[in-house]
With several copies, the nearest count.
Chain A
Amino acid sequence: MKLRETNVGRSIFRSPDRKTERDRAAGHWSSFLLHIYPVKVRREELHFRYSWYLGVASTVLLASLVVSGVYLMFFYVPSPTTAYGDMQTIQTEVAFGQFIRNVHRWSAHLMVITVAAHMARVFYRGAYKPPREFNWVIGVFLLILTLLLSFTGYLLPWDQLAYWAVTVGTSMADFVPFIGGSAREVLVGGDQVGAATLIRFYVLHVALLPLIMVAFLLVHLWRWRKDAMLDQERPGMGLGPHAGEEGGVGAPPGSGKQGGGE
């Protein structure tokens, strides 16, 4: 007797049989992780050339950053007196410390690239056009959040590279008229980069920005699924190479009908 056919298995998986396509669709809706996906997509979306899979790559890199980041947090105290020593301890004494730190850093750099490239690919596919405008805007914010997360993390090793890169980066804020000087002071917590900056960047990096990022990402994925289902209800809305040429797409999005699918 298989697990999914027992009482316990049934209560968890809900759909004991997956023989027909319809069973699979039903099982789909009962799985939490799968429910972020639509049930069906157009065949063209399967090809590498459609999306270059850059959205998936960015999400996987984010997951790798969360896991490696939490591990590193256990060995790092965000204070100038301890930070650099903790980095040395991580690289020499902590189990897999150097390796996890490397993975965290290369994932971060790569994620900046994949998120920016994802955006470019979406542009060339025209996938920011109605009804997807607002998801593009969310995407712009996700790119900015990625840059800010990368930048705040850059300070944490508290070495010369970190210190001066952040000094240069934050000094740009000074040029913003009126609010620039005070914005910089709030961020840096004083005249120059120091203990106050380190704790602020740390909390931004490990708590505040990730919270905002995850919230935006959930909305981004949710709208992606909605839009994929929208396509299927109104064939004219597809993203194929000839989309929009027959007209009929100029109609304002968001009539009462569109939400019916889910």
Chain B
Amino acid sequence: MSDTDPREVEGKRLLGIVPGQPATGERKVPEEQDLVTVWPHLLVRHAVVGVAVLLFVLILGILFDAPLREVANPFETPNPEKAPWYFAALQELLSHFHPLVAGVLVPGAVIVGMIALPYIDRNPAARPALRKVAVVVFTSFLVVWILLTLIGFAFRGENWGWVWPWDEWHGEL
């Protein structure tokens, strides 16, 4: 830490170094709130994560080919007609509710709610135990959304009817 000359320790000349624990005081235990320099501590980890993610997609790219079906044909509608997977929850909602609800009100409310979240939830606590309402509401939303996405993506077949993915596979990436 100190930039002073190592041969002088607090005004006294250093005569030798003896290995072992310091004679007095305890070794400092690093605390979670202590500051550490970004380089190297955080940057090395970021570099490792970055390389890992990159390797992962490169290996995916070697193992699995991206799909390419026949050329687009406006006169031949596939059945089922599926939106990309990240819109599958919306499409699933559309099959149950009026389009104005499922296609406009729900996504609009989700976006507005997400944007407004930090201005609605003014509870400063960070521990989940002290913010039960927020955690429960958010988790329920997340679970419902993931379930709807899964259903729309994998459990829907011709005319948007229910199929088991192990019987018929209609998911498209």
Contacts and interface: CB of A to CB of B under 8 A. Distances in A.
Q: Do A and B bind each other?
A: yes
A41 B36 contact: yes
A130 interface: yes
Interface stretch (A201-209, A212-220, A238-246): A238-246
A160 B111 contact: no
Contact of B118 (A11, A21, A242, A250): A11
Contacts of A7: 119, 122
Interface string B96-117: 0001100110000001001101
Interface in A212-252: 232, 235, 238-245, 249-250
Nearest to B118: A133
B61 A244 contact: no
Interface in A104-144: 104-107, 109-110, 112, 119-120, 123-126, 128-130, 132-133, 136-137, 140, 144
B43 A53 contact: no
Nearest to A137: B115
A262 to B, nearest CB: 14
B75 to A, nearest CB: 11
B38 A102 contact: no
B126 interface: yes
Nearest to A40: B35
B74 A163 contact: yes
B57 A21 contact: no
Contacts of A104: 66
B53 A42 contact: no
Interface stretch (B7-15, B19-27, B86-94): B86-94
Interface of B: 1, 3, 30-39, 41-43, 45-46, 49-50, 53-54, 56-58, 60-62, 64-74, 76-78, 81-87, 90-91, 94, 99-100, 103-104, 111, 114-115, 117-119, 121-128, 130-131, 135, 138, 142, 172-173
